[in-house]
Amino acid sequence: MEEAVRPWGVYIHIPFCKSKCFYCDFPSYAGREAFMGDYVKALVKEIETIGALRVEAAGTPATIYIGGGTPSLLPMELLETLLAALRRIFIEADFPQGERARERAEAGAVEYTLECNPGTVDLDKLKLCRMLGVNRLSFGVQSFDDRLLRRIGRIHTGLEAMRSLHLARIAGFDNISMDLMYGLPEERLEDFRHDLQAMAELSPEHISVYGLQLELGTAFYQMQEKGRLTLPSDEETEAMYDLMADFLPEKGYERYEISSFAWPGRQSRHNLSYWQDAEYLGLGAAAHSYLGAMRYENTHDILAYIEGIRAGESVRRLEEQVTEKAHKEEFCFLALRTREGIEKAAFLETFGVPIEEIYDEAIRNLVGKKLLEETETHLHLTPLGMKYGNMAFEAFLF
């Protein structure tokens, strides 16, 4: 009997941004627009080679996610070239699913997301994306307060974020996610309440909310080192967290992961697959892949990526075998991020040993502290455990 192919995902990285936000440590660069044409050409070649090989081996993917950077910054003609290649290789490919692949895509069987920044989309661009198969948008909003947006280095306004959502609706998108941040410099609880309120009034199907983290190498990190950053106190940040955790479910958003809220049935399938140990193929500079117990990372350097692909060389700069120990740890702490938590049967099936045999002490300890709840089938974080997630995750490290 043929072995069933597990659902897998594709991640496409677009490393261009109009300017660098002060908190951002993602592999994205401002002022490199001149390379966009060559970059998309190289990306299409990688899609047509590495991507097609993967489809031949594993069938078409369950999810496609174009992230960055700012994918919506690509000019129309480059966006069209990229989306057409993705559609050809990953949706309409004449491989195991044959012509049914297109039907599946059109029926929404493939979750196909494009990350956008407000102020970088217009109606024509959004219509083009919809026409070429994109069925989900994720907007980096962060705040609706122009004062806060300027303070974190964002280039859009609150009004532009609202306008972008309306344009996306006109273009036919009925599955939209928006990101918010809290704990921003000089932000007060009332500011964050206002942002949550504004977000709920817009009614996107999905909302992600992140607390500000000071990452090494960012402008904010340097400002903090020099004592020039005024952040809310720990108590104020905790109050913002509590507000988020109460407010969004009251508005009908189910919290299905530590930072993610959605209308029923509108969870991000792509992100869920990361937390559920599914395989993914990353294409583009700095993209990561997780395939067959191996992790790969492409070079971060845009020029090295373009030259490497052009010369037919590998652009992977890192390849590592995921050890069984690391796999067990990741399996647990990624699954614990989700509302369902760790499925005991899935752990047993993956590692051939019941989870209690390995983590008995950690489980008792966390249950005793009311951070973890155990049912017959699952282990999942309590609301307190979600709040202090790191304590729970650490317990699952050997």
Looking only at residues 254 through 313 of this chain, which bind ligand SF4 when binding is defined by CB under 6 A? Answer: none
- Region from 13-21, 168-176, 321-329, 356-364 binding ligand SF4, contact rule CB under 6 A: 13-21
Cα angle vertex 133, ends 131, 135, to 5°? 105
Cβ atoms < 10 Å from Cβ of 184: 27
What residue has token string 């992790």?
Answer: 295
- Minimum separation from the CB atom of position 56 to ligand SF4 (A): 32
Length of the chain: 398
d(CA 223, CA 67): 27
d(CA 189, CA 191): 5
Q: Would you say 180 and 209 are in contact if contact means Cβ atoms under 8 Å apart?
A: yes
- Minimum separation from the CB atom of position 347 to ligand SF4 (A): 34
- Region from 17-25, 79-87, 220-228, 277-285 binding ligand SF4, contact rule CB under 6 A: 17-25
- DSSP, collapsed to helix, strand or coil, labels residue 313 as coil
Residue 70 or 289: the one with the smaller Cβ distance to ligand SF4 is 70
- Minimum separation from the CB atom of position 22 to ligand SF4 (A): 9
Residue from 60, 63, 113, 117 binding ligand SF4 (CB under 6 A): 117
Q: Would you say 86 and 109 are in contact if contact means Cβ atoms under 8 Å apart?
A: no
Q: Does 26 sit near ligand SF4 (CB under 6 A)? A: yes
Q: Would you say 178 and 136 are in contact if contact means Cβ atoms under 8 Å apart?
A: no
Residue from 9, 14, 28, 50 binding ligand SF4 (CB under 6 A): 28
Query: Structure tokens of 304?
Result: 């090295």
Contacts of 150 by beta carbon, 8 Å cutoff, 6+ apart: none
Residue from 12, 14, 21, 82 binding ligand SF4 (CB under 6 A): 21
- Minimum separation from the CB atom of position 99 to ligand SF4 (A): 37
- Region from 19-27, 105-113, 167-175, 262-270 binding ligand SF4, contact rule CB under 6 A: 19-27
Looking only at residues 64 through 93 of this chain, which bind ligand SF4 when binding is defined by CB under 6 A? Answer: 68-70
- Rg of the chain's alpha carbons, rounded to an integer? 21
In DSSP notation, 263-295 reads STT---HHHHHHHTT-EEEEESTT-EEEETTEE
- Region from 18-26, 162-170, 190-198, 365-373 binding ligand SF4, contact rule CB under 6 A: 18-26
Residue 152 or 372: the one with the smaller Cβ distance to ligand SF4 is 152
Q: How many residues bind ligand SF4 (CB under 6 A)?
A: 11
- Enumerate binding residues for ligand SF4 (CB under 6 A): 17, 20-21, 24, 26, 28, 68-70, 117, 140
